[in-house]
Structure 1
C-alpha cells in the first residue's frame, strides 16, 4: 500500500512539473516516460520513503526561486494547437534543467543518497539561509551528486573524486555535473603518524599553510584544478574519499585542505564545512584537530556542521 501511494505521489509531482514545461522541455517528458518503463517494479519501502523525501527537498529548493508573475499561459501548449492563450496571474515554477533531471532521477532510480534525510536537510537549510547562488565544493561523487547540484541552481557546484572509472560512470548518467579527479598522497594506515608529523612541517602550520604546489605538506591537496584554488567556497561537503580500509586515501587531506581554504578566506562571512561519517575515529580526530570543536554548530546522525571564520592570527601554533 505504501509503495503504490508513494509511487503515485511522485509520479503526480513530476507529471505536474513536466506538463508545465512541455513546450520547452519535451525531452524531459519523453525521458521520464522511458525511465518509468525501465523501473516498473516497486522499491523496498525504506528506499521509496527516502526517494520521496529527496524529491520533496529538491522541490523545496525549486520553490526558493519561484515568483508570482503575469504571463500568457494555458494548460496545454497554445502555440502548438493554434489556440490564443489567456492572460492571468499564477505561480510560475521555473525549475532549472538540473532540478528537473534530479527529480526524474530519484523518482525512478533504484538507488538513493547515502546520507539520511535529516542529514541532507542540514545542508539544504544552510543553502536556503544564504539566500543566493553559492560556491559549493563537494568531496565525493556519487548517487547524491545530482541532488547537491539541484540545491544550488545558478551557483557553482564542483565535485572532487579519486576514482576515474567512477567519475566516468556517474557522468554518463549525469553529464551536466562538474567533476574532477583528485590524486591523494595519503593512506588511512598513516593517519596517526600524519597527525603527529604535520606539526614539524612549517608549510603545514596554521599561519603558513597553503595548498597549490605545497608538496612538502603531505596533508595539503597540492594538485587540484585551478578553479578549486581560485574560488572562495561558501560550503564544503566532505563525504569522500574512501576511508574504511588501510590502503584507502582516508579523509585526512580533505579535512586539512578544507580547513586551510576556510581559514584563508578573503571575503566576508564564514565557510560552512560539513563532515560525514564522524562515527569513525579518523574523521572525528581530524575534525577536532583542524575544524575545531568551537566551530561545531550542529550535528545530526553521522554529520557535523562547522562554521569556520577567516583567520588573521599570525602567531597561532595550532589550528584549534
Structure 2
C-alpha cells in the first residue's frame, strides 16, 4: 500500500478542520438561541410577576387583585376541586370539612366580592383562591405571622392588629358596651373616632370605607383567659356592616360558634333575628346584616332598661 502524500495529508486535515468549525458554529448558534430565549422568558416573567422596588404592600396586593379581577370568578369545576382537596387536607389546626364547605358555599354565592377575614390560618390561601377576582383582606394579631405568610402567597393582603382586650374580661366589656350603646358603642358610627373599648380603630383608614360583602370572624385567639378573644372583631364587624353605605347586606360568619364568647357576643351585636338558619354548622354561625337600622340598638327589643337588666345578668 502506498503511503499518503503530503498533499493528501493537508487536504484531509483541512477537511477535518472544516468539519470541526461547522460543528462549533452549530453548537454556538444553539447556545446563543437558548440563552436569548431564557433571557426573554425570565425578563417577561419577572416583569409581570414582581412589583418594582418601593411599591407598598397595599399597592402590590391591589395590582395583583386587579389583574385577577379581569378574569372574573373561578370556573365552578376549579372552585369545587379546591374545596375538595382542602377538605382532605391534613394540616394541623384546620377547620372541619363541614365548616370549610359551609364557608365556601357563601363565597361561591357572593364572589367575587370584598372579603374581610379576622385571623390567619391553614385555610387562608384557600379563601384567597376561592375569592379570585375579588379583594380579600386578613387581620391578625401576630405581626410575625403576617410577615411570614405574605411573601409565600403572592397577592395576600394582611395587616397586624394590636388587641387590648382579654377573654377573662369579656363580661365586664360586654356590660360596658351595653351601657354605652347609645353613645360610644352605638351600632352606626365612624370607627376611626370610636372610644368604645370593643372598637378596632387602628386599621388602615381606607379599610373602613370598603363595602364588605362577607366577613369571616376566625380570630384573634381566645383559647385561654389571657387571649384577646373575639369580642372586638365581632363588635367591629357589626358596626362595619351597619355603617356602610351600600345596597346589599353583609354575610357574617363566626367560627368556633360553639364557644361562650362567640355565642354571647354574636347574640348581642349580630342578633338572633339576623341568623341564617340551615346555612351554618354547630361551630359556624351565619348572620345576614343590613346597613342602617336604629342608632341606639343592634337588635330588636334592645333598649336602656333591657341593657341594664342584661348587664346585671352577665355579672352574676
TM-score over 0.5 for the pair: yes
Counterparts of 1:188 and 1:173, CA distance in 2: 32
- The CA distance in 2 between the partners of 1:283 and 1:176, in whole Å, is 30
Superposition CA RMSD, Å: 3.1
Q: Are the structure 2 counterparts of residues 233 and 184 from structure 1 closer, same or farther at C-alpha, using a change threshold of 3 Å? A: same
2:174 aligned with 1:203: no
Partner of 2:97: 117
Choose from 286, 289, 293 the match for 1:312: 293
Q: Which has the higher helix share?
A: 2
Contact 2:125 2:153 (C-alpha < 8 Å) held by counterparts: yes
* 60, 63, 71: which one aligns with 2:75: 63
Q: How many residues align?
A: 227
- The Cα of 1:108 is off from its aligned counterpart by 11
Q: 2: distance between equivalents of 1:129 and 1:239? A: 20
Conserved in 2, the CA contact under 8 Å of 1:209 and 1:260? yes
TM-score of the aligned structures, taking structure 1 as reference length: 0.64
User: Could you tell me which residue of structure 2 aligns to residue 51 of structure 1?
Assistant: none
Q: Does the 8 Å CA contact 1:204/1:210 hold for their aligned counterparts?
A: no
> Residues of 2 paired with 1:110 and 1:129: CA distance?
27
User: CA deviation digits over 1:272-302, x for unaligned, max 9?
Assistant: 0000111111111000000001111133130
- Distance in 2, Cα, partners of 1:106 & 1:123: 12
How many Å separate the matches in 1 of 2:87 and 2:173? 43
Distance 1:244 1:111 in 2: 19
Greater fraction strand: 1
Q: How far apart in 1 are the matches of 2:86 and 2:250?
A: 29
How far apart are residue 113 of structure 1 and its match? 6.8
Query: Are 1:161 and 1:182, in contact at CA under 8 Å, matched by a contact in 2?
Result: yes
Does the 8 Å contact 2:271/2:298 carry over to 1? no
The runs of 4+ residues in structure 1 deviating greater than 3 Å are: 105-110, 316-320
Q: Is residue 265–residue 310 contact of structure 1 (8 Å, CA) maintained in 2?
A: yes
- Which of 231, 241, 251 does residue 252 from structure 1 map onto? 231
Distance 1:244 1:167 in 2: 20
Matched, 1:284 2:296: no
**Structure 1 unaligned residues grouped into runs of 5+:** 1-22, 28-60, 67-92
How high is the TM-score relative to the length of structure 2? 0.65
